[in-house]
Amino acid sequence: MGSCVALVGNPNVGKSTVFNALTGLHQHTGNWAGKTVDVATGTFTWQGSEVTVVDLPGTYSLQTASPEEDIALDYLLHGQANGVVVVCDATCLERNLILALQVLEVTGNVVVCVNLMDEAQRLGVQVDLTVLADALGVTVVGVSAGTGAGLDTLREVMVRLAEGEITGPVRPAQLPMERVCTAQAYARQAVDTTPTPQARRQAVWNKRLVSGFTAIPLMLVLLAGVMWLTVAGANLPSSLLSQGFDWLGQQLEAWMRGWDPALRAFLLDGVYGVTTWVVSVMLPPMAIFFPLFTLLEDLGYLPRVAFVLDHAFQKARACGKQALTMCMSLGCTACGVTGCRIIDSPRERLAAMLTSSLVPCNGKFPTLLALITLFLVGQGGSLTGA
């Protein structure tokens, strides 16, 4: 693959933002042979040198407890990358360093990229990159991928890494500590926290969002608001689409007036009618629901929902993450079932797939209404034969 560098990191550390900022439009996404997890690949050029960047799936560790972790470890062990960039979140560096230490056990050609430096400064978190580099024995680069700060330095370091100028860490002597303890020790050395008023407000809201007294009411109100916005907001665009497709259908019917009746019925009532009906009914709700759901994920609220509901789902031998896949199934069952891959346990993943497929989505509502009209007829909705 030539000069190649792999990006690894925990979910929600801005790894995809770093990847997009580095590669721009020179990227594509696809599945590796035999794998069901998407892997993005892109290129960038810096001072005449072209580097291929492989964005591995987000993973919390290399213990291969999920398909994402299995892919990441397999590529680090057997891939053709010349080096690895571990993307960390400056606001929670301690947790991210656990993965960095695991990667250092697999390969020595590592650069640590500390992302979200601007967000950390806003929250009163100061990361001493020099101290962290001395502790890890590798090159450490601080960036803010959202604003582009530090990306040129990262590109230069990645070119050096890909060309073999950075070939392994000079590790300092370590105490025989467990990996988690080592990450805590390094984080204490490199991070200085002085909470700002905004950070204190965020801590208060975090407590409310996971507290037993306020978490459930807030979750119900928020999710109900998302559903109301989806249903109410989809009425007008759905109606406009339906009217537009009806007008276009009348024009097509007039243009096909001399055609064979069977062919015309097949094309107009079959292909055109069904396609336009599905688009006008399903597209507007999905165009509203999934951006709102993505916004909740970007704000970090969805992991808190899974945490709050995990205890209740465990009583049913399920996983709290299943709540997220069931919510996704309200927008589209196919997306909900696909999202079940975030669940590590095969048994819990299968249970989530079966349960999510039973959640009614926009595509199922017309079928359910048709079945209701078949079995509930007469005045007052009385049962047939009653």
Q: How does pLDDT run across 105-145, given as a tens digit for each residue?
A: 888 889 999 999 988 888 888 999 999 999 998 999 999 98
Mean pLDDT of 39-47: 87
User: Which CATH architecture fits 4-194?
Assistant: 3-Layer(aba) Sandwich (3.40)
User: What pLDDT was estimated at residue 152?
Assistant: 93
- The band of 374, judged by pLDDT with boundaries at 50, 70 and 90, is confident
User: What pLDDT was estimated at residue 368?
Assistant: 78
User: What pLDDT was estimated at residue 132?
Assistant: 92
Q: How does pLDDT run across 275-295, given as a tens digit for each residue?
A: 898 888 888 888 888 888 888
Please check the confidence at residue 365 and state whether its pLDDT lies above 80: no
User: What pLDDT was estimated at residue 112?
Assistant: 94
Mean pLDDT of 155-169: 83
Q: How does pLDDT run across 224-239, given as a tens digit for each residue?
A: 888 888 888 888 898 9
Please check the confidence at residue 316 and state whether its pLDDT lies above 80: yes
User: What pLDDT was estimated at residue 298?
Assistant: 74
| Least confidently predicted of 13-17, 90-94, 148-152, 204-208 | 204-208
Domain boundaries, the chain: 4-194
SS (H, E, C) the chain: CCCEEEEEECCCCCHHHHHHHHHCCCEEEEECCCCCCEEEEEEEEECCEEEEEEECCCCCCCCCCCHHHHHHHHHHHHCCCCEEEEEEEHHHHHHHHHHHHHHHHHCCCEEEEEECHHHHHHCCEEECHHHHHHHHCCEEEECECCCCECHHHHHHHHHHHHCCCCCCCCCCCCCCCCHHHHHHHHHHHHEEECCCHHHHHHHHHHHHHHCCCCHHHHHHHHHHHHHHHHHHHHHHHHHHHHHHHHHHHHHHHHHCCCCCHHHHHHHHHHHHHHHHHHHHHHHHHHHHHHHHHHHHHHCCHHHHHHHHHHHHHHHCCCCCCHHHHHHHHHHCHHHHHHHHHHCCCHHHHHHHHHHHCCCCCCCCHHHHHHHHHHHECCHHHCECCC
pTM: 0.70
Mean pLDDT of 240-265: 89
Mean pLDDT of 91-116: 90
Please check the confidence at residue 168 and state whether its pLDDT lies above 50: yes
Rounded mean pLDDT of the chain? 82
User: What pLDDT was estimated at residue 53?
Assistant: 92
User: What pLDDT was estimated at residue 115?
Assistant: 93
User: What pLDDT was estimated at residue 334?
Assistant: 84
- The band of 14, judged by pLDDT with boundaries at 50, 70 and 90, is confident
- The band of 84, judged by pLDDT with boundaries at 50, 70 and 90, is very high
- The band of 151, judged by pLDDT with boundaries at 50, 70 and 90, is very high
